[in-house]
Chains A and B, each alone.
Chain A
Amino acid sequence: MMFSPDHIAGVISFLFTILVLSYLIGDNPLFRIAVYIFVGVSSGYVAAVAWWQVIVPRLIYPLAYGSVSEKAITAIPLLGAVMILMKISPRLTGLARIAMAFLVGVGAAVIIAGALSGTLVPQISATINAFDMNAANARNISMVEVIFNGAFILAGTIFTLIYFHFGARPKADGSIRRLGLIEISAWIGRIFIGITLGTIFAGVYAAALTALIERISSLINFLGNF
C-alpha cells in the first residue's frame, strides 16, 4: 500500500491537530512537543525559502552569472548582508549598524510616502466626501442616509482623533487635566473606539471559529477517509 503524500500529510496533520487541541484540557507535554516541533519546522522552512528565494536569485546568481556592472552593483548588498550577519557576534555587532541604518533610512522614506499619500490624504478626503451627494447618487444612496451616515462617520473620526490627544495643563488645584471640551470630546471618542474594538473582536472570534471549524472538519474527513 502506497501512502500518498496526502495520506502522510493527513496522518501527520491529524496527529498534530490532536496534540494541539489537547491544550483545551490543560498544558501538557504533548502540546509542547507539537508546538516546539512546529516552531523548528517553520523556522527551517523560512530559512530555506529565504535562501532559495532571496539569496540565491538576488545575490548568488548575479555575482555568479551576472555582468560586471551587475556584479558591482550586487557587491554592495552582499557587503551589507555580511554586515547584517555580524549581528550574530556580540563583538562585531557594531558593523551591523551600517546596514541597519540603511534599512531604517529606506524604510522611513517608504512609510512616509505611503502614510501621506496612501492613508492620510485619502482618508481625510473621504471624510469630507461622505457628504458628497453625487457620489451617493452614483451608489443609489439617499440624501438623508448620506447626511445621517456622514454625520456619524465624521463624528466618529473627529472624536476618535480627539481621544488620542493627551496634552494637558496643570489646573489651579494642582491636578493635570485636559481642557473640558477635549475631555467631553474624548469621552464621546471612547464610545466610538469601543464600538470599533467590539467589531474587531467579533471578527477575530469569527476567524478563530472558522479555523476551529476547519480543523474539526479535517479531523472528521480524515477519520471518514481512514
Chain B
Amino acid sequence: MSDMIKCPACGESNLSDQDVCQYCQTRLPDVTIKPGQIPTRKNTAELEPILPQWLRDARDSAREDDQQGAQQKLDQPESPQSQAASATNDLLAGLQAQAGNNDEGDMPDWLASIMDGPSKTTNPQTESSDTDEMGLAGKVDFEDDVVAELSSDEEIPSWLAELKPAEPQPDENDGANDWLHDLERPEQARQSELPESFESSFTDSSASDTPDWLRQMAAEENVKNEGAPADISADVFADAPELSIDTPDWLQAMRDQEEAAKSADSEGSSGSSFGKSDAAENPANGDLTDWMDSLPKDEETKQGAAPVWLSNDEPLPLSSAAEPGDNPDWFNSFQAVPAFQPERPFAPADSPPHAESEDSQLSDNLDALFTDMPDWLSDASETPPSSNLMPNADMDEIAPGDLPDWVQAMRPADSGDSQSSPASLSPSDQTLETHGVLAWLQGVLPAAPGFAPTSKPKAYSIKLQASDEQQSHAALLERILAAETAPVPIVSFSVLKTSRALRWFLAFIFLLIIGIPLFMRTQIFSLPEGVPLSVNGAMQVAQSIPEGAPVLVAFDYEPARVGEMEAATAPLFDQLMLLRHPYLIFISTNATGAILAERFISGPLAVHNYQYGIQYLNLGYLPGGQMGIRAFAQNPRVTTPSDMSLSSAWDSAPLEGIVSLSQLAALIVVTDDADAARTWIEQTESVRGGIPLVVISSAQAAPMIQPYFESWQISGLISGLYGGALFEQYNAGRPGTARSYWDAYSLGMLLAMALVFGGGLWNLILGLRDRIAIREAQ
C-alpha cells in the first residue's frame, strides 16, 4: 500500500503517486525527490501530508506525553531533564511491548514495574513497532529523562512516579529485581545487600526494596549538591527515595580497590548505554555526574575514567554462588551474555560470557554496572540540551553479566570492531533526532563506528560522473549520430539573377542589326535557294485550281504574326489571284481572323482589287473550334448561313449549289498554330474528298505540320518568311514583302546563331565551373 498524501486544499487523502487531487483537482505537493536533485530544505509543515499515520500517532502521543509532563511539571516543577522521563515512557513502551510479546511470561518484576508505568502513556502503536521493541520509541534521550528526574530536588520523576509495580509474576523469582521494584516506591528506601554477583543482586526477591546503594547514592548527593537542580543524584534521590542507598559493604570494598587501582583510560570507558563515555568526555557536566561524583570513586573515575569493572576486559562471570533456583527465569535464560567490556561497548550479543570468579573483578564490574545506566534505560549519546547520566562507577559493583537477548537487542549494536574507539561512542551517537520521521528519538541508529549518522546524510547526485574528456567524446558521438539522421539538403543552384546589362545589350544590338538594313532597304543577302517539296506542292496546288473556283481560306492566326503570315501568304495568293482569280471564301475560328482577312485583302493584295461579295466572301467568325469546323465541314450552308455583314452568304453565283467542302476547289489554311492546322486537317479529312489542302503556317508551327505533309494529308506547306521567300522567288518576286524583310531576317538569324553559340559556350564553361565549385564545397 502506497503512502497517502493529504491534499492541502480539501484535506482528502490521495495516493502518493498522484499529481492532482482526485476530489478537488488541486495539484498535490511533489514531495518526491528526483534523481540528481539536491533535496531542498522544507518546512516540516509541508511534509505533514506525507507523514505516515503511525508516525503522526507517535508524535501525537509524544506531544501528549509532553503536555502531561508539562502539566506535571506545572504541578510538580521539574528540571528540564525530567522531560526526558516522559520520553522514557515511550522508550519503555517498547519494553512493555516486548513484555507483551514475551510468550514465556518471564517478566522480571523490576522490568514489569517499570513498564507498567510507562505503559499508561505509551502509544499502543508504538508498542507494536520494532523500535518499541528496542525500547527506543521515546523522543527524548532517556538519559536526559533520568538525569532530569534524578536531578529534581522536589518532585518524583515522572518516569519514576509512573513506575508502578507490575503484577506479580508468579514465575519470577526476581529477587534480583528488587532494586528496580524499589524504584516504584519512592518512599521506600530499601537497603539491600548486593550480592557479589550481578545476579545475586537481581535475585533479591524483595521487589519493594530500594537498593541500599542507590539510597546511599541519593543521600550523598543531597549532601554534596544540595539545591542543585541539575544534580542528578539529588534529583534522583529526592524524587526517588528508594534510590537512596547505603553503600553496601561489597560496594565499599570495591570502591576501596578502585581508589588503589588506576582505571583504564577514560576513552576506554564504555560508551554504552551506561553513559560512561559521556562522563568521560564531559566531566564538566555536573548535572549528570554530580551524584556520581558524590559517590566514592577513584581519581580516574572522577575524571571520567572507566571503572575497573568496566575497564576489565574479561567479562564478569555469572555468580557461582547464586543458586540457579534463585535466579529468575529470565536470568536463567541468559546463556550467552557477552561480558561487559568497556573497551568494546558494543560487544556482540552472542559473545560467550566469560566467567570469572575473581571477586575484585566482580566487584569492579558490579560497581561499573551500577554506575552506568543500563542500555535500555539510557543512551550514550551526548546532546547539548541534555546531560548525560554518568553513574558512579564506584558505586556500582554490578557486573555487566549476561543480558537477555531482548536487552542485547536494544543495546547499541557492537560492530565488533576492535578498533572502535570511544570516539565512535561519542555523545553524537546518542544524538537526539529532531528532524524527520525519527524525531525525538535518541540513538535510533546503531552507534557503531561508521554507522552513526553524525550529520545530515550527504546528498549524492545520481548524475553520471563524467570527466570533461568523456563529455566531449559523448558530445562528439552525438554529433556523429545527428549527422547520420540529419536530412541532406538537396543540392540546387541558386536562382540566376537576371542580367539587365545582357538584356540591354541584346536589345540594342538587335535593334541595330535589324534597323539598319530596314532603314537602308538593303537587299544584300540572297534569297534562299532550293524549293522543298512542301513548297513545291503548294505551288502545284495553286496552279491546279480552276479559274474562278471557290477556294475556302481559313484565316486562323493571331494579330501578333501579321507580318510573318502576310509575308508567307501573300506570294501564293498573289499568284493565285493573278493567275486563277479564285472566289475566295474566308472563314476564321478566331474572333479577329475575319478582320485580318480584310486587312490581307486590302493590304498586300490590294493590287488585285478584290471586291467583297464579288470576288471574295467573308463568312466571319466560326466559334466552337473543332465542333465548328466539323459542323461547317459537314454542312457549311447550315452552319454559316450568313456572312460577316449578316447577308446571305450562299446566294452568290460562285457559291450556288455548294453544300459541302468537297465541292470547293481547294482549302487553304493560314494559321500560326499547329493545333489549328491539325484540327482543320482532322475534321475535314472525311468530308474534304479529294480537294487539296494547303497549309500556310508560321515558322514555329511548321515542324508539327510537316508530318501531315509527309503523310500526304496536306498537299503543300509554306512556313514562315523562309517559305514565303522561296515562293516569292517562284512568283517573280511578287509582292516583295519577303524580300524587304530578308536582309534583316538573315542578319538576325546570323546574329542569333553567333550569340547562341558564343554565349552558350561561355555559359557552359561558367556552369561547369559552378558545378565543380559546388562539388568541392560538398
A residues lining the B interface (CB < 8 Å): 24-26, 42, 45-46, 49-50, 52-54, 56-57, 61, 106-107, 110-111, 114-115, 117-119, 122-123, 125-126, 129-130, 139, 153, 196, 199-200, 202-207, 209-217, 220
Contact = CB atoms under 8 A, between A and B. Distances in A.
Nearest to B738: A210
B514 A114 contact: no
Contacts of A200: 700, 703-704
Contacts of A211: 560-561, 563-564
Given A118-B682, A123-B711, 10 more contacts: A50-B591, A56-B646, A119-B682, A122-B711, A203-B698, A207-B561, A210-B567, A211-B563, A214-B562, A217-B740
A119 B507 CA distance: 41
Interface of B: 500, 503-504, 507, 510-511, 514-515, 518-519, 533, 560-564, 567, 591-592, 594, 620-621, 623, 625-627, 630, 641-642, 644, 646, 672, 678-679, 681-683, 685-686, 698-704, 707-708, 710-713, 719-722, 740-741, 744-745, 748-749, 752
Contacts, number: 156
Nearest to B680: A118
A45 B596 CA distance: 13
B682 A115 contact: yes
Contacts of A25: 504, 507
14 contacts: A25-B507, A26-B500, A42-B592, A45-B591, A49-B621, A119-B681, A126-B710, A203-B702, A207-B672, A209-B748, A210-B561, A212-B748, A213-B745, A217-B563
Contacts of B708: 122
Contacts of A111: 626
Contacts of B711: 122-123, 125-126, 129
Contacts of B563: 210-211, 213-215, 217
Given A26-B500, A123-B711, A214-B564, A117 B620 contact: no
Contacts of B533: 139
Contacts of B519: 220
Given A117-B682, A203-B699, A213-B514, A53 B620 contact: yes
Contacts of A54: 621, 623
Given A54-B621, A111-B626, A210-B720, A204 B712 contact: no
Given A118-B681, A207-B672, A220-B519, A213 B710 contact: no
Contact of A203 (B626, B644, B720, B748): B720
- B679, B703, B708, most chain A CB atoms within 10 A: B703
Contacts of A212: 510, 514, 748
B752 A205 contact: yes
Contacts of B626: 107, 110-111, 114
Contact of A110 (B510, B627, B713): B627
A210 B641 contact: no
A53 B644 contact: yes
A199 B425 CA distance: 108
Query: Max chain B CB contacts within 10 Å: which of A130, A212, A213?
Result: A213
Contacts of B703: 196, 199-200, 203
A207 B564 contact: yes
B90 to A, nearest CB: 77
A119 B678 contact: yes
Given A119-B682, A126-B710, A214-B563, A209 B627 contact: no
Contact of A24 (B503, B562, B644): B503
B87 to A, nearest CB: 79
A216 B713 contact: no
B507 A114 contact: no
Contacts of A126: 707, 710-712
A216 B672 contact: no
Contact of B741 (A122, A139, A214): A214
Contacts of B740: 217
Contact of B515 (A204, A206, A216): A216
A123 B707 contact: yes
Contacts of A139: 533
Most chain B CB neighbours (cut-off 10 Å) among A26, A139, A216? A216
Contacts of A203: 698-703, 719-720
A123 B712 CA distance: 9
B744 A213 contact: yes
Contact of A206 (B562, B620, B623, B721): B721
